Amino acid sequence: MNERQVLEALKDVKDPEINRNLVDLNMIRNIRIEGNSISLDVILTIQGCPLKVTIEEDIVKALKAIGAEEVHVHFGSMTDEERAALAAQLRGGAEKKAAAPPSILAPGSKTTFIAVSSGKGGVGKSTVSVNLAVSLARLGKKVGIIDADIYGFSVPDMMGIEQRPTVIGDMILPVLRMGVQVISMGFFVADNSPVIWRGPMLGKMLRTFFNDVKWDDLDFMILDLPPGTGDMALDVHSLIPQSKEIIVTTPHGTAAFVAARAGAMAMKTKHEILGVVENMAYSICPHCGEKTYLFGKGGGGRLAEELRTEFLAQIPLGLPDNHPSEPDFSPSVYKRDTEIGQIYEELATKVIGLTKA
C-alpha cells in the first residue's frame, strides 16, 4: 500500500454534515504506512464533532477494504483560517459570496417550498411538518425543514435532535436527521429560553436561515410556520412568493373556521394551496379497531371545499411507539411500517404528484 492508494480509498468517505469527501476537503493529513498498518490524522471542522465516531468507522472500513490490518485515526480541528477557507470553498469561492444569490432562492432553483400553516396553535401543525418531511425523504427526495415558528420552536425535540449545527466561518451547516436537513431557532437558544423579539428581528432570522445555511441541493423545503397570520407568516409570503401551502386543522368546526383565515392569506399573496390535512381526525380502538370522533367530524372536508382545494389526509390521534434506546429515536416521528406512518407516506406521495417534483 502507498499514500496514493490510501487517499483514493478515502475519497469514498464523506463528512456527513458537509456531504463531501474528506480528501477534497483536505481533512486527511500525515498518512503513515508501516507494513499493513496505517495511521493518519483527520482534521475536523470543530473540536468535539458529534459525528466523529461515524467518520472513524467509515475510514477504518474503507482502509481495511484495501488490505490494512490495523488503522489508527487521530483527530484534530481546523484553525479559524482553515475554516474560513473551507467556507469559501463550499460557497464556490470567496469572490462569489456577495454577488451570488443563495441557491435555494435563486431563479431556476429546483427546490419546491411547502409552507405548513394553521389558523391556531394546538392542531399538530409541527407534527405534520416533521412527518411529511421524513416521509418525503423515505421516498428518495432531498428534503430540508426550517422551524420558522420562532416563538414556539419544537422541531429539534420532535425529531430527537440533541446536536447543534456546525458553523464554518459565517456558514451554518444544517443538522442531518432521518435523511432531513434541519434548522431551527431552537438550536440557537439556551435551555429552552423564551424568545422576546419584534417583527424585524424575526424576518432577519428567517433570511439568515436561507442565506447563511448551506443547504444541499434540495427537492423540497418544508417551512413549519407559526400559527395565525402574524409577522413571520407575512415574511414567508413576501420572501418566497413561489411557495406552496398546506393548511392543517382539526375536525372541530371552530378550528376549521380559524384555519380558513390562513388559507385566505395564502390566496391573497398568490400562494398555491396544495390542500388541507385534518389532524386528530379520530381515535382508533386498539382492541376492536372502531373509530371514535372525539373532536367532531367533517371540519377538514368543509375547509377544503371552502378553499376549493384538495382534502389531502385524515390523520388519527396517536403516539409513535418509539423507544429511547433506538438509534433513530424521536418522540414524534412515526415508523414507516405503522398505520399512521403509512398515512403520512400516502400524503407525501400526493405532494410529490401535485408538485411534480
Range with the poorest average pLDDT among 14-18, 193-197, 239-243, 335-339: 193-197
More confident residue, 326 or 282: 282
Amino acid identity of residue 6, one-letter, is V
Query: How wide is the angle at C-alpha 75 spanned by C-alphas 74 and 76, nearest 5°?
Result: 130
More confident residue, 58 or 205: 58
Q: What per-residue confidence (pLDDT) applies to 100?
A: 43
Q: What per-residue confidence (pLDDT) applies to 194?
A: 56
Round to whole Å and give the CA distance between 112 and 357: 7
Sorting pLDDT into bands at 50, 70 and 90, what band is 232?
A: low
pLDDT, tens digit, 9 for 90 and up, residues 75-118: 998 888 888 888 777 766 544 444 444 567 777 788 999 999 88
Q: What per-residue confidence (pLDDT) applies to 246?
A: 93
Locate the domains of the chain by residue range: 3-78, 112-355
Which candidate, 177, 172, 142, places its Cα nearest to that of 162? 177
Q: What per-residue confidence (pLDDT) applies to 63?
A: 93
Q: What per-residue confidence (pLDDT) applies to 10?
A: 93
| Residue-averaged pLDDT of the chain | 84
Q: Which CATH superfamily is domain 3-78 in?
A: Fe-S cluster assembly (FSCA) (3.30.300.130)
Amino acid identity of residue 135, one-letter, is S
**Residue 227: is its pLDDT beyond 60?**
yes
pLDDT, tens digit, 9 for 90 and up, residues 170-204: 778 898 999 999 998 888 776 655 555 555 566 67
With cell 435563486, the residue in question is 106
Helix H, strand E, coil C: the string for the chain is CCHHHHHHHHCCCEECCCCEECCCCCCEEEEEEECCEEEEEEEECCCCCCCHHHHHHHHHHHHHCCCCCEEEEEEEECCHHHHHHHHHHHHCCHHHCCCCCCCCCCCCCCCEEEEEECCCCCCCHHHHHHHHHHHHHHCCCCEEEEECCCCCCCHHHHCCCCCCCEEECCEEECEEECCEEEEEHHHHCHHHCCCCCCHHHHHHHHHHHHHCECCCCCCEEEEECCCCCCHHHHHHHHHCCCCEEEEEECCCHHHHHHHHHHHHHHHHCCCEEEEEEEECCCEECCCCCCEECCCCCCHHHHHHHHHCCEEEEEECCCCCCCCCCCCCCCCCCCCCCCHHHHHHHHHHHHHHHHHCC
Q: What per-residue confidence (pLDDT) applies to 98?
A: 42
Count of all residues that appear for the chain in the document:
357
**Residue 155: is its pLDDT beyond 90?**
yes
pLDDT, tens digit, 9 for 90 and up, residues 258-276: 888 778 777 777 788 999 9
Q: What per-residue confidence (pLDDT) applies to 103?
A: 61
Is the CA virtual torsion 113, 98, 149, 181 positive or negative? positive
Q: What per-residue confidence (pLDDT) applies to 96?
A: 45
**Residue 291: is its pLDDT beyond 60?**
yes
Q: Tell if the pTM clears 0.75, that is, is over it.
A: yes
Topology of domain 112-355, per CATH?
Answer: Rossmann fold (3.40.50)
Is the CA virtual torsion 216, 143, 9, 169 positive or negative? positive
